[in-house]
Structure 1
Amino acid sequence: MGLSAPIVNAPMGGAAGGRLAAAVSRAGGLGMIGMGSSATAAALAAELPHVAGLERPFGIGLVHWVAVNHPDLLDLALSAGPALLSVSFGDDWSWVRRAHDAGVAVAAQIADVAEARRAADAGADVVVARGAEGGGHGRPRMATLPLLAEVLDSVDVPVLAAGGIASARGLAAVLAAGAAGAWLGTAFTACPEALTSAAARYELLAAPGDATTTTRAFDVALQYPWPATLPERVLRNEFVDRYDGREDAIGADARAALADAVEAGDYRVAPVNAGQGVGMLREPRSAADVIDALCAGAEQLLRRWAEDLR
């Protein structure tokens, strides 16, 4: 795809809009527009002007069950001419043929080796090995490095590493292991180009690396139809402390309080998705600055490691 940086921004619903995608692509990576649980064709259409006329490749990421419920969403995504399409968290691969017929390459997020093989057999051009450290929704089955190493030995397509990578050391580590690049989410959430609110950005920058947890409390309370096998990694807060593992106790009052908190941006109660790399966020930096720092640092480390091995 002619990238100068081995970085793809994860298509995070609610954070990775068209502005972030364009900024990442202009900086040499592959910018992805993310459509999450509440995605519609209208929501995607509102983000596409940011990449219209972009002279760099970009991608679009969808959630499988959302795309099934909104068939026009996939239609619009393909008609936008992305270089890469990701449709995550489903077992039906018929969309791969549609993407290839439209001349669009396909990426599939996977959580174990069996999934990686199924994705490659279904025609995925790129496999994303998403470790349990990653923020947002996913199957928390294996840590990133063990998953990456096993997948690299199991499939013949390029593999991107995802989950907990938010520093030059993390990027260098997965490249040294053999990844074609890194699929980064949390590292971009504090960028001014992201859709992240100012209040959520503050929480992300203040959080240490051990501040996250996986939970289904928010999905249950907000009545999102995410399956139980796909919890989300978020910053721990008062709502998580009260209801994680006690989702049956979430009643109408709790749902109303959560809805009010989401509306008000009160993140003592409302969710903030974050991976375990969140502790490495130090200040709000542009997407270009994030990419430059990660790539320059990783290059130095890889050279040093190569010299040490001689």
Structure 2
Amino acid sequence: MLRTWLTERFRLDVPLVGAPMAGVSDGRLAAAVSAAGALGMFGVPATASASWIAEQAAVAADSGRPYGIGLMAWVLQDDPGQLEAVLAARPSLASVSYGDYARFVEPLKRAGIAVATQAGTTDEARAAEQAGVDVIVARGGEGGGHGRDDVATLPLLQSVLDAVGVPVLAAGGIATARGLAAVLAAGAEGAWAGTAFLGCAEATLSEPARRRVLDTGETGTAYGRVFDVAQRLAWPPEYGGRALRNPFFDRWHGREDDLAADDAAPAELEAARRTGDFDTAYIYAGQAVGMVGRTRTAADVVADFAAADKLLGRFGTP
């Protein structure tokens, strides 16, 4: 069994975190990942209420194992109720990323909650260490959902490991035991994986969305701000999103200023979301999506990651 800072801190069987994917990972998926021996997390959408967070935290805690909650710093600036709800829930881990997160680190730590933040450059990782986080997630541009697209996972991980003294997890493109073994061998304390869980029965994706994920190959994603601009979301512009490429993205990519002035586009996107038209609506996923080819349980996915110890054992480094 692999032992790292991550497994020791949170009493895990596998050095793996199920990434907090807002709109995809709720309390049910978090509980399933935790019950399987990894650390499950749920992501808090921008519009989520404090009561929703409390409800999902109760579901996630039902596994009896540690779990985490993911927050967006740019949302907390205008909605302190989300932070208060997380403080009240007292998960084992909270991630706060994307915006001015530093002010939220100390309140979470005072509540006994370990704090993570996602870094897309080495400078961001250094700043995170200065802010006092417990663990840094080195997230490469391959990752699904939001983040920087400036540096790929492997070069970023190597640089961050040399630059900081706090534990580091690797994120972006890690979907199998091979990926986990690779980042552990490099010195990471574990992996932070989201796309690998998109096909899970416990995820909140609709069946048409799940089928779209399962049918998408490794070149089927695109990175940009199209979907954020169309929704009029206040994401910091340096953090675009990686999603499945579709005709709506292709139509507006490179024309974001025009999109911001187009009054019909938000309604078009919202209607597509309601009807499940994924030629227009978005599904966030990383470049590892080509390895997600069938519906499985979260326990199956975690069990596959656990085989990393055998791969590392081949080289005498279990």
> TM class by shorter-chain length?
over 0.9
Is the counterpart of residue 85 in structure 1 residue 94 in structure 2? yes
For 2:187, which of 165, 178, 190 is the aligned residue?
178
Partner of 2:6: none
Is the counterpart of residue 146 in structure 1 residue 155 in structure 2? yes
For 2:289, which of 278, 299, 304 is the aligned residue?
278
For 1:237, which of 228, 241, 246 is the aligned residue?
246
Measured on the aligned residues, the alpha-carbon RMSD in Å equals 1.3
Q: TM-score, normalised by structure 2?
A: 0.93
Letter in 2 for 1:164: G
Partner of 1:260: 271
Secondary structure of the 2:164 match is: coil
Q: TM-score, normalised by structure 1?
A: 0.95
Question: Deviations for 1:220-240, whole angstroms, at most 9, x for unmatched residues?
Answer: 111111122111001000101
Q: CA deviation at 1:215?
A: 1.5
Partner of 1:188: 197
Contact 1:109 1:128 in 2 (8 A): yes
**Structure-2 separation of matches of 1:223 and 1:133:** 24
1:38-49 map, 5 Å: 38-49=47-58
Question: Deviations for 1:86-144, whole angstroms, at most 9, x for unmatched residues?
Answer: 11112341211101111111111101111111111211111000000000110111100
Residues 212 and 51 of structure 1, relative CA distance in 2, 3 Å threshold: same
Partner of 1:287: 298
**Structure-1 separation of matches of 2:264 and 2:108:** 44
Unaligned runs of 5+ in 2: 1-9
1:1-310 map, 5 Å: 1-250=10-259, 251-296=262-307, 298-306=308-316
**Structure-2 separation of matches of 1:169 and 1:52:** 29
Contact 2:95 2:117 in 1 (8 A): yes
**Structure-2 separation of matches of 1:34 and 1:89:** 13
Contact 2:177 2:304 in 1 (8 A): yes
Secondary structure of the 2:314 match is: helix
Question: Deviations for 1:144-179, whole angstroms, at most 9, x for unmatched residues?
Answer: 011101111111111100001112211111111111
Secondary structure of the 1:69 match is: coil
Greater shift in the superposed pair: 38-47 or 178-187? 38-47
**Structure-2 separation of matches of 1:292 and 1:112:** 31
Contact 1:20 1:193 in 2 (8 A): yes
**Structure-2 separation of matches of 1:110 and 1:223:** 24
Q: CA deviation at 1:260?
A: 0.7
**Structure-2 separation of matches of 1:37 and 1:79:** 19
Contact 2:74 2:100 in 1 (8 A): no
Question: Deviations for 1:173-202, whole angstroms, at most 9, x for unmatched residues?
Answer: 111111100000100111111111111111
Question: Deviations for 1:267-295, whole angstroms, at most 9, x for unmatched residues?
Answer: 11100100000001121111110010121
**Structure-2 separation of matches of 1:241 and 1:168:** 33
Secondary structure of the 2:234 match is: coil
Unaligned runs of 5+ in 1: none
Residues paired across the two proteins, number: 306
Q: Percent identity?
A: 52
Question: Deviations for 1:40-65, whole angstroms, at most 9, x for unmatched residues?
Answer: 31331331231244421111110001
Residues 158 and 46 of structure 1, relative CA distance in 2, 3 Å threshold: same
Greater shift in the superposed pair: 41-50 or 76-85? 41-50
Letter in 2 for 1:223: R
Contact 1:41 1:70 in 2 (8 A): no
Greater shift in the superposed pair: 128-137 or 163-172? 163-172
Contact 2:33 2:39 in 1 (8 A): yes
